[in-house]
Amino acid sequence: MKRFIELSSHAFFACCLVLACAHAADAQVKLKFSGDHVSVTIAGAPFTDFYTGAAYPKPFLWPLRSSNGLIVTRGFPMQTIQGESHDHPHQRGLFIGYGDINGVNFWANETSNPGNNKGRIVIRNIEKLKSGKKSGSVRALFEWHDPGGANMMNEDRTMTFYDEKGIRTIDFDIGFTAKIDLQWADTKEGFFAIRLADSMDEDHGGKMTNAEGAQGEKNVWGKQARWVDYSGQVDGQTVGVAIFPAPSNPRYPPRWHSRAYGLFAANPWGLKDFVKDPQAQGGGLKMTAGQSMRLRYRVIIHGSDITPLNLPDLYSRYLQTLK
């Protein structure tokens, strides 16, 4: 299986290189292959990189930048920055993962994480890489492998990046198809997640605000909400990140595994940890072999000109794109 992963990683870069050049000459949003990742630039400035190589146990976007170049994600473990936190090495940039699917951990699945039940999310192919004047997108196919290398689930992920004045927007369209019967356990460790820059977290003066107006980890963590914004300071400037789940997602609105130390995650299937009741019923998710599901999210990176008062309008605009 190791040989398959290595061959796949080299093959998709070679086969799709020509696609990276398509439409790129006059594009504002440019995507291109750069070693083990796809780089995304907007209006000539770097925005983010999409890492999918065999060196990583799951794909991730890192770093994420605001429209004026402020980095809103933590550097560790990709970059060592003096004074920055080094906890939770599995929280790389923006990532998707889950702590227990049939007993396999796709969340804390770094080599440095304890346990032998760690899975890997393995690239199968890059189906599309498109640059454009107003937006660019990448469609990637993944397999979720158990510790023995067997495929448990296929993932079809499309990410669309937009050129917009003053903000940075990414749309996610994610499809899962079970290869075997699956039980997504009831756990807080998931699912759609970002590890924010230390300077933005609540421990350094940042603030979470959800769609119902609740603020702070005490009032946001584990609660259901249509969206959550996490704002703070980077290099002395106010910047924020909002996550908008689509109403068509399973278990909408999700609960939020968002922490004062900078983890920012939407978790549709966790319940018992969030309500602090080990006997709680209704968490988790069952999928039978061949069954599929779709989840969509929008991520907005904004400056001080956008506050929680503006976010309902932005969320309404997102809903209009889903019709």
- The DSSP string of 153-208 is EEEEEEEEEEEETTEEEEEEEEEEEESS-EEE-S-SSEEEEEEB-GGGSGGGT-EE
Report whether pLDDT(3) > 80.
no
Report pLDDT digits (tens) over 103-125. 999 999 999 999 999 999 999 99
Weakest-pLDDT range from 6-20, 127-141, 201-215: 6-20
Looking at residue 307, what is its pLDDT? 79
CA distance 116 to 110: 11
CA distance 91 to 74: 9
Looking at residue 304, what is its pLDDT? 84
The contacts found for 79-87 with CB under 8 angstroms, 24 or more apart, are 84/198, 85/198, 85/261, 85/262, 87/261
Percentage of residues in the chain having pLDDT higher than 70: 92
CA distance 308 to 230: 10
CA distance 187 to 255: 11
Looking at residue 258, what is its pLDDT? 97
Tokens of 249: 């997602």
Q: Please, are residues 64 and 72 in contact by the beta-carbon 8 Å criterion?
A: yes
Q: Which residues pair with 118 in a beta bridge?
A: 105
Report whether pLDDT(168) > 90.
yes
CA distance 144 to 150: 8
Domains, the chain, with CATH or none:
2-321 (2.70.98)
Report pLDDT digits (tens) over 24-82. 456 799 999 987 899 999 999 999 999 999 999 999 999 999 999 999 999 999 998 98
CA distance 322 to 320: 5
Q: Please, are residues 51 and 62 in contact by the beta-carbon 8 Å criterion?
A: yes
Tokens of 75: 């550097």
Report pLDDT digits (tens) over 267-299. 999 999 999 999 999 999 999 999 999 999 999
Looking at residue 19, what is its pLDDT? 44
Q: Please, are residues 301 and 237 in contact by the beta-carbon 8 Å criterion?
A: no
User: Would you call 58 helix, strand, or coil by DSSP?
Assistant: coil
- Per-residue pLDDT, averaged over 118-138, amounts to 97
Looking at every residue in the chain, the average pLDDT score rounds to 92
Looking at residue 76, what is its pLDDT? 96
Looking at residue 46, what is its pLDDT? 97
What's the Cα-to-Cα distance from 163 to each of 47, 48, 62, 94, 249, rounded to whole Å? 10, 13, 18, 19, 26
Beta-sheet strands, E only, within the chain: 29-34, 37-42, 45-51, 60-61, 94-98, 120-130, 135-145, 151-164, 167-178, 182-184, 190-195, 207-210, 228-234, 237-245, 255-256, 263-267, 285-287, 292-303
Binning pLDDT at 50, 70 and 90, where does residue 210 land? very high
Report whether pLDDT(2) > 90.
no
Report whether pLDDT(11) > 70.
no
pTM of the model: 0.91
Looking at residue 162, what is its pLDDT? 98
What is the maximum span of the chain, computed from C-alpha positions, in angstroms?
58
Report pLDDT digits (tens) over 83-97. 889 989 999 999 999
Report whether pLDDT(133) > 50.
yes
Percentage of residues in the chain having pLDDT higher than 90: 86
Looking at residue 323, what is its pLDDT? 76
What's the Cα-to-Cα distance from 144 to each of 97, 116, 122, 215, rounded to whole Å? 10, 16, 6, 35
